[in-house]
Amino acid sequence: MSPTARPRRSGPAAPVRIVHLGLGSFFRAHQAWYTDRASDAAGWGIAAFTGRRPDAAVALSAQDGLYTLVTRGAEADEFAVVHSVSRAYPGTDHEAWLDHLGSPDVRVVTLTITEAGYLGDAVGGLDTADPRVAADIAALRADARAPVISAPARLVAGLLARRSRDAGPLTLVPCDNVARVGSVLAAVVRDLAAAVDAGLATWMDEQIRVATTMVDRITPRPAEADRLAVLAATGVDDRCPVVTEPFTQWVLAGEFPGGRPAWESAGAMFSDDVTPFEDRKLWLLNGAHSLLAYAGPARGHSTVAEAVADPVCRAWLGEWWDACEPYLALPAAEVAAYRAALLERFANPRIRHELSQIAADGSRKIPVRILPVLRRERERGRLPNAAVTALAAWVSHLREAGTPVTDVDASRLASLATAGRLADAVSRVLAALDPALADDAELVRAVRVRAAGVP
Ligand SMILES: NC(=O)c1ccc[n+]([C@@H]2O[C@H](COP(=O)([O-])OP(=O)(O)OC[C@H]3O[C@@H](n4cnc5c(N)ncnc54)[C@H](O)[C@@H]3O)[C@@H](O)[C@H]2O)c1
Ligand SMILES: O=P(O)(O)OC[C@@H](O)[C@@H](O)[C@H](O)[C@H](O)CO
């Protein structure tokens, strides 16, 4: 290999038996890495599809699906080439999507489509009022092979192709930071299937299983400096490296009648109940992330590591974790160890995790990360200070006090947050999250007072 060669395979790629939707950084640091490390990796290649832009598929295809995973500890980097992505496709290649989903070789579909990609409604079903969903349903009713955009519709299109080829059982494995993600995915796919084809649900009951998961590995958006670091250390000009932290965890529950990689041989854990791990992770890690993402910029911080170096932010984290702890169904010693490890993970000075990346889509993240604990505390008559801080900082963020607002619901939230007095904005924004929050006078008052103190 010449000093600046792109990564290239020296042998054949593993046969495609997994399809992934959402070819982003996290998938490459997590599910693709576990598959690469599994003892039977040679039998389980992945066909990975981007969700929106084609860039990652184009760049990865130019290097045979190979990329460098940089595991960035507080002291040093480790570099490893991941081989499990056998094919990479732009999401627009719908024929390839249908072909793979319709193939009897494929047994598993993994997903990282972001919280917003599930398109759920407030009561746990599919948001059929969303124009993208309505358009996809109409398209699939007219033609089962019509190109569709939303993730639930893509899955249903793939399942229709699979049924038409009698291709056998398949397990869907959602890997996003969504509470009870397996149930959420099962519901939106079931609702979309029912809207398209009355007989599909019965076939799905027999052939399709939906696993649920807790996924954990802090993986910031890669930067140009990361490409240069790989080049300097390995001599390879990798155009799509991913940087991640040493810590990683994957807890899964579900049935795999068509088989799966031996992910446990790479460290994944199979459990009957993912819930305790999921609550611990979504509340302690992701809740803390969102708290810092909205409240940290007002104290001059741009990254998680900068924020946790600030004693005021660390005190908020302590308050938040104290509020969460009574509701976690795990031994106290385990929670204490997780908290201590989190502080170290957040403080890793060599991981540049931008608060602005974490701040995106707060309307979908706060209900999962902050509200479950806030509601439990309110039922007991308590008002957790850190949750008030997070909500007040989010309102201020929406009023453009911090990082730029990126949210699937940005235009509605911006009008709710910016029109008129701050006090009214607080009520409107809380009502948009959950009307019951806006009816809680003590909470509203506290958030107003805190928001008024945020620049
Ligand atoms: N980055 C992390 O540290 C991390 C850790 C745990 C879980 N996750 C989960 O993974 C998700 C993706 O994170 P990432 O770091 O890979 O982000 P990323 O921006 O690198 O990649 C996101 C991928 O999802 C696709 N996507 C976005 N919206 C979609 C939609 N509506 N439908 C289908 N595909 C869509 C994008 O096209 C892209 O391929 C997160 O939203 C989170 O739920 C991330
Ligand atoms: O990826 P998101 O946008 O859901 O959330 C941002 C971070 O909170 C998240 O990526 C964490 O780093 C991750 O969940 C750690 O496992």
166 and 314 share a domain? no
Residue 97 in any domain: the answer is yes
Return the percent helix, strand and coil in the chain, to nearest 5. Answer: 50, 15, 35
Per-residue burial over 320-332, b if 16 or more Cβ lie within 10 Å, else e, is bbebbbeebeeee
Q: Which of 225, 242, 272 is the last residue of a domain?
A: 272
Q: How far is the CA of 22 from the centre of ligand 2 (A)?
A: 15
Q: Whose CA is nearest to atom 4 of ligand 1?
A: 26
3-state secondary structure of 123: coil
Q: Where are the alpha helices (DSSP H) in 83-127?
A: 94-101
Domain containing 199 — which CATH number?
A: 3.40.50.720
Q: What is the pLDDT of residue 184?
A: 97
d(CA 120, CA 134): 13
239 and 284 share a domain? no
Q: How far is the CA of 367 from the centre of ligand 1 (A)?
A: 18
Residue whose token pair is 């149930």: 183
Residue 119 in any domain: the answer is yes
How many CB atoms are located within 10 Å of the residue 5 CB?
12
408 lines ligand 1 (CB under 6 A): no
d(CA 388, CA 408): 23
20 and 168 share a domain? yes
Residue 432 in any domain: the answer is yes
User: What's 361's DSSP letter?
Assistant: T
For residues 42 and 17, the answer to whether their CB atoms sit within 8 Å is: no
The DSSP line for 227-281 is: HHHHHHHHS---SS-EEE-S--EEEEE---TT----GGGGT-EE-S--HHHHHII
Q: Which of 272, 291, 324 is the last residue of a domain?
A: 272
Residue 455 CB burial class (10 angstroms; 0-12, 13-18, ≥19):
exposed
User: Which ligand 2 atom lies nearest to the CA of residue 360?
Assistant: 3
Q: Whose CA is nearest to atom 13 of ligand 2?
A: 218
Q: What is the pLDDT of residue 400?
A: 83
248 and 296 share a domain? no
User: Which ligand 2 atom lies nearest to the CA of residue 293?
Assistant: 8
Task: Quote the tokens at residue 72.
Answer: 């960035």
Q: Whose CA is nearest to atom 7 of ligand 2?
A: 358
290 and 212 share a domain? no
Q: Which of 242, 272, 302 is the last residue of a domain?
A: 272
151 and 27 share a domain? yes
254 and 336 share a domain? no
177 lines ligand 2 (CB under 6 A): yes
Residue 8 in any domain: the answer is no
289 lines ligand 2 (CB under 6 A): yes
Residue 106 in any domain: the answer is yes
265 and 366 share a domain? no
pTM above 0.95, yes or no: yes
299 and 412 share a domain? yes
Residue 215 in any domain: the answer is yes
Pocket test for ligand 1, best of 34, 53, 112 (most atoms within 8 A of CB): 112
Give the range of the structural domain holding residue 156, as residue numbers without chain letter. Answer: 16-272
Pocket test for ligand 1, best of 53, 113, 115 (most atoms within 8 A of CB): 113
48 and 190 share a domain? yes
Residue 33 in any domain: the answer is yes
59 and 96 share a domain? yes
Pocket test for ligand 1, best of 21, 23, 26 (most atoms within 8 A of CB): 26
**What's the number of domains the chain is made of?**
2
3-state secondary structure of 79: strand
For residues 308 and 343, the answer to whether their CB atoms sit within 8 Å is: yes
**pLDDT tens sequence for the chain (455 residues):** 455 788 999 999 999 999 999 999 999 999 999 999 999 999 999 999 999 899 999 999 999 999 999 999 999 999 999 999 999 999 999 999 999 999 999 999 999 999 999 999 988 999 999 999 999 999 999 999 999 999 999 999 999 999 999 999 999 999 999 999 999 999 999 999 999 999 999 999 999 999 999 999 999 999 999 999 999 999 999 999 999 999 999 999 999 999 999 999 999 999 999 999 999 999 999 999 999 999 999 999 999 999 999 999 999 999 999 999 999 999 999 999 999 999 999 999 999 999 999 999 999 999 999 999 999 999 999 999 999 999 999 999 999 876 679 999 999 999 999 988 999 999 999 999 999 999 999 999 999 999 998 54
267 and 283 share a domain? no
d(CA 242, CA 126): 33
Q: What is the pLDDT of residue 404?
A: 76
Domain containing 395 — which CATH number?
A: 1.10.1040.10
d(CA 115, CA 128): 17
Q: How far is the CA of 359 from the centre of ligand 2 (A)?
A: 10
d(CA 138, CA 72): 46
Q: Whose CA is nearest to atom 5 of ligand 2?
A: 358
